[in-house]
Amino acid sequence: MSPLSASADISPPPAEPAKPSRRRLLLVVLPFGLALWGLEVAAGTTLLRWAGPAGGALLAAAVNLLVALRFGLSLRAGRVPLISHYARFDRQGLPPEVEGYTRALTALWAGLLLLSALAHLLPLLGLGRTGAILAGQAVLLVGVFLGEHALRAHRFPQLRPVTPWGTLGAIGRSLGARHG
């Protein structure tokens, strides 16, 4: 076989999946995110004015409930659990042995956020203060987020080390792919 005929038999490499460009992210994702943030601020401001002193507690409960629903509804049959979806955008992907773990982790977050929503209603019953509940929730959720990384490293030592920054990057890539 001559060098010319050998080169004619070489087919081009398969195309890689399109990655969202930084420009596209800036032109699409950033304005979309800012618009959603603006709607959230407007809705929160309206709720705070409408509800008076109870507004802070109601707003915190509503936000936690909505995020809990986002996690929980992804657990329905035929759906991809939210954390499984995020894990697919991690640099190492979603190994099959981790799928059950990410489903359980999605359920844990749904439950924690639902309990947080209920906790934020306690000040309406005269039980606690919104600021103290917000502070407690922040400590709890950050602790669970960081502790989960240590647990995952212990439970799945075959995986490369996972870090909170890597997880946040995977979440960002998943959002960029959805809107890119």
Q: pLDDT value at position 23?
A: 65
Tell me the three state secondary structure of residue 126.
coil
Residue 77 scores a pLDDT above 70: yes
* Helices vs strands, H then E, count in the chain: 8, 0
Segment 6-23 mean pLDDT: 51
DSSP letter for each residue of 68-91: HHHHHHTTSTTS--HHHHHHTTST
Compute the mean pLDDT over every residue in the chain, rounded to the nearest whole number. Answer: 83
Assigned token pair, 167? 């997880």
Residue 27 scores a pLDDT above 80: no
Q: pLDDT value at position 55?
A: 80
In sequence order, what are the residues at sequence separation of 6 or more whose Cβ sits closer than 8 angstroms to the Cβ of residue 3? none
Q: pLDDT value at position 25?
A: 59
* Local confidence band at 28 (pLDDT 50, 70, 90 cut-offs): low
DSSP letter for each residue of 18-70: PPPPHHHIIIIIHHHHHHHHHHHHHHHHHHHHHHGGGHHHHHHHHHHHHHHHH
Q: Is the pTM value of this prediction over 0.75?
A: no
Assigned token pair, 159? 């995986």
Q: pLDDT value at position 24?
A: 61
- Residue 137 near residue 119 (C-beta atoms within 8 A): yes
